[in-house]
Structure formats: structure tokens, C-alpha cells
Copies of this chain bind each other. A is one copy, B any other.
């Protein structure tokens, strides 16, 4: 079976090199830019791939919704297997792509869309074959972990570390998707969809931004509780009919695995009824790590493996069914709190256990008065 890669950017070119080196036949690469090293295999015309019956698997690494969506739909309808590293696409069209794959007797896989080089989604899906998953959680964004780790280790400011991360290429010029949580929300939605055999949309995930964290927050959490902070996504099965999904800064013991995940590494965890806790750690981004994950999905297809995702189970995705304690730092005392301490003009507040939906509502109103307020959940 021959292979086509769509998009010769960071991930696409990484996967290309890995597949070639391992002896797999990448017949075509779609890109509109010139790439001499690709010779005749380069094309800017997708029909060259779509109409080529030798090509059995299409690896999409373009990113974004269009033209990736149109290309992938056409590939599935043409009976070609699809592999993708595109979390935005997978999150937006989860049901459509799976239905099309089923209709056309092919598979759609996207291990590289979450966790970079970590075979997280692959293993999460494999685990569901013989086990029931009750919870997933993880550090799924390398940029924000790099920022937090540098703030905690070196006592530096958020804005200073963000600028360094941008200079190193770890953070985008517009860093909002990373630091405001959309990237982790999409990864959490996709992971929860596989874990709970359902479809979770991006909009179902409540998000706290990391943007407002200060050295004072980190110091207070360390001095008061002996704990530290990470930025994580959560998917929790509350009972047989409801699940909760959210992205939050999280207060953790310094001896937890997560607290010892440094630099831009990721760790993602499942809790299964039989297997217990399983965690997967590695590079959450990068040309060769993510390229390897994309290439591995391609290699599975070429080797005749046909992994599918079970979905269609109906849940109420509702953060009113999950309760946690929260830390709030704001310049006034809000209506809900269990205890607080005032230092200078800042109130450092600990709440009682609150519904996740309630704290996210409360946060919206607090942020209207104090746009620099910061919120973090306690993970026991």
C-alpha cells in the first residue's frame, strides 16, 4: 500500500523523513510550496492523490479546518484510510469523519493530534477494548508547561517566560490558543470522546486561562500548601449518564508525577476499572516526535491493522455533576469562599467544594470586575 502526505510543514516533513528511512513508500506529498528534495513526488494538485489507486492511506498534516476537511472527506469517500495530526479538524468533525470511514470501510486515526509523540490516543482506545475508563487527565500543552516550569524553577514572570518561549519557537506569535486553553480543550474533548465512547465538542469544555498566573500565586501555593501548579485538561465520568470536561490550572503535590514533568514535556493519564492508573509521558510537540506518531499510525494501516473508535454512547456533558475545591486570587472578596487571606490589595481565597459549572460562572463575573483574577482547582 502506498502513502500520500498532505502538507509538508513541520509534522508532515518529519513523518515523510521517518517513513522514507523506514522503507515505506511515500508516493505523493501535497504542498503548494516548492521542495526540491521531494522531486516528482511533490504535487500541488490533490486530484493526483485522490485518483491514484495505489495510494491507500492519506496522512493529513495541513492543520486548520480548510482545505484539510475537504481533502480528508474526499479521501474517505474514495476508500482511502485517513491518518491526521489535526486536532482542530478531528474535534470539529468527529462524528462526520467516523461515519464516513465506516460507510467506506476504511479507518480514521489521529494519535498525533493529542500529545505529540506520545502514543496516548492509540493506547487509550486500545484500553477501552477490555476496560471501562472512568477518568482521563493530563498536561497536554508543552508551551504552558514550559512557562510554568520556568516560573516555578527560576522565579520569573509569566510575560518574560512567554517572550522566551516565543523566541525559542515553543509559543506562537499569537499565544492565545495555548495560554487561554483552547488547545488543551480540543485535546481534552478528543480524549474524552475516545475514553467514554461518545462525542464531546470543544464548546462542552469549561476553560480557565493560565494567562493571569503570577509569581505571587506560585509562592502562595507553595508556602501555604507545600504544593505546585500545572495546567491540565480533565474528562471525568461522574456516573452512567453524565461526564464532566474542563481545562484548569491545577494545584498538585510536589511529589506527584505531574509536578515533576518539566520543560515542554507532556504526561497524560487514564484511570481504568481493571488496569488502574496508566500514564504516558513524552514530547508533546516537535517535528520528529509528532512526525513519528503520525508515521506510526500510517505504518499500522500499511501493516493491515484496522483500529476503529467506538462512539455513539449518549452522555449529558455537564459540569454541574462534578465538585472540587478552588483557589482564587482577586482584588476583592467574592460571594463564595471558605477562607481567605488579604495580602496587600490581593485576596487569596479558598472555596468550599463547588460544582465545576458554578466556579466557571462565578469566575466570569469576578473577571468582569478584576480582569487579572486567577483561578486554580485542587487535584487531590
Contacts and interface: CB of A to CB of B under 8 A. Distances in A.
A292 B274 contact: yes
Interface string A278-320: 1111110010110111011001100111100000000000000
B304 A118 contact: no
A292 B126 contact: no
A232 to B, nearest CB: 16
Contacts of A259: 260
A118 B278 contact: yes
B22 A117 contact: no
A70 interface: no
A276 B295 CA distance: 15
Nearest to A302: B129
Interface size class of A (residues with CB under 8 A): 35 or more
A288 B117 CA distance: 28
A227 to B, nearest CB: 14
A260 to B, nearest CB: 5
Contacts of A129: 22, 296, 299, 303
A121 B300 CA distance: 16
Most B CB within 10 A of own CB, among A123, A286, A293:
A123
B276 A130 contact: no
B282 A278 contact: yes
Nearest to A119: B123
A99 interface: no
A296 B304 CA distance: 18
A126 to B, nearest CB: 6
A58 to B, nearest CB: 17
Contact of A130 (B18, B127, B305): B18
A131 interface: yes
A272 interface: yes
A276 B282 contact: yes
Given A123-B123, A255-B260, A278 B131 contact: no
Contacts of A286: 276
Contact of A306 (B22, B276, B292, B304): B304
A122 B283 CA distance: 19
A256 interface: yes
A126 B14 CA distance: 18
Contact of A275 (B122, B279, B288, B303): B288
Interface string A251-285: 00001110111100100000011111111111100
Contacts of A113: none
A130 B283 contact: no
Given A127-B296, A306-B304, A276 B117 contact: yes
Contacts of A277: 265, 281-283
Interface in A194-233: none
A171 interface: no
A19 interface: yes
Most B CB within 10 A of own CB, among A118, A275, A276, A283:
A275
A273 B287 CA distance: 12
Given A275-B292, A305-B305, 8 more contacts: A127-B296, A259-B260, A274-B289, A275-B282, A275-B283, A275-B288, A279-B282, A280-B281
Interface of A: 14, 18-19, 22, 117-119, 122-123, 126-127, 129-131, 255-257, 259-262, 265, 272-283, 286, 288-289, 291-293, 295-296, 299-300, 303-306
- 3 closest Cβ pairs, A-B complex: A279-B281, A274-B288, A275-B292
